[in-house]
Structure formats: structure tokens, C-alpha cells
Structure 1
């Protein structure tokens, strides 16, 4: 399977996967898949994790075989142990998504001389 040329963003800007109605979320994701979109992008920060939770629920309901990317956030992680912060964030995302793995993980924080 190959990534679609465009993906479905599940962020705060449009708000559907954060604040939308469950039936609308299912319809939108199903329609995106009908149109050939098979990459869905979310993040732990979108709606305080609601985007991941909602996307996971919708994909399970649709029995969807798609690519999922998320972003980890270091938040209050101890700068001297970033590895533990990454692991904690990714494990929480996987739990919210209801998945054993994701296809792409990206850093969702700025990098400075402090990190």
C-alpha cells in the first residue's frame, strides 16, 4: 500500500475530529477513504488527545486499513531524560488511537538549546 498524495488532517483548525459529532466524523473519514485518501494525521495536542481518541474510534468502526501519523509532545518531560518523555507520549497516543503502532511519528515541539 502507498500513501495517498494528500492526507486527512485531524487537527484543531477544522475542528471536526476534536469538536465534531461522532456521526459527522465517521461520514467524513469514510468519504475521504472513498476518494482515495489513506493517510490520517493527528497529534496528542489536538484537543488534548480528543483527535486521537476520535480518529481511533472512527477507524475501528470503519475497519479501516490506513496509514496513521501522530506527533509526540514532550510537554513537561524532564529535559535530562527526553527518551522517557518520548516513550510516554507515544504510548499515550497509541492507547488513545487504539493501535499497537502508527506509521509516522513526528516531534510537535520546537527544538531549542534547552532540549
Structure 2
């Protein structure tokens, strides 16, 4: 079940890092991991950003065409999914769990042959 709202057609998001709002391109974001009331955003340049926001709130500001919730603690950029094995999505060597309630939505949004 998707909870993302319609956002303006853009290619980026502004995130508050320290005291400034910094622009990050969607194609720089690999995946997002929740940790309590914080989120870590993992970027393609091997860095990460810590935000003081919930995953649900952050999800509302991401385009549904690019990002998908895979688990109660993860959102991934579908353009970086390399493989799916069992209940895990791999982005590089990072294994991200697929929640039981998210699996059908994930498989319906990806171009998967034989599912």
C-alpha cells in the first residue's frame, strides 16, 4: 500500500543538513533506512546523511515512480536494485529486507518476468 503523495515534478529534494537545506538529486539516493525517529539516506558517492524525520514523513516527499517501500524500515531507489533473492533486495552488496506486506507491491512495480 503506497502512502506517497503527488509531489511537484522535479529531479531532486532539499534536505536539512546541519543548518542548511542542501539539494540532492534523486538519482544520487540509493536507499533510506529508518532508525527510530531518524533516517539515514545512503548516497551513490558512498556517503550518508542523517535526518531527524520519520520514514513515513520522508516517503511523502519522494516520487512514487522512483522510490518504493520494501520494509517498515527501508525505502529503495528502484533504479539501483541489482537482484532479488528470496526476501532480500540487493543494491550492490547491501541486502535490504522485503517485508511480507510489501512483496506483492514491489513485484508488481518492477518488470519481473515469470512472476
Higher relative contact order by CA 8 Å / sep ≥ 6: 1 or 2? Answer: 1
Provide TM-score, normalisation by structure 1.
0.31
- In our comparison, the structure showing a higher alpha carbon Rg is 1
Task: Name the one with the larger strand percent.
Answer: 2
Provide TM-score, normalisation by structure 2.
0.31
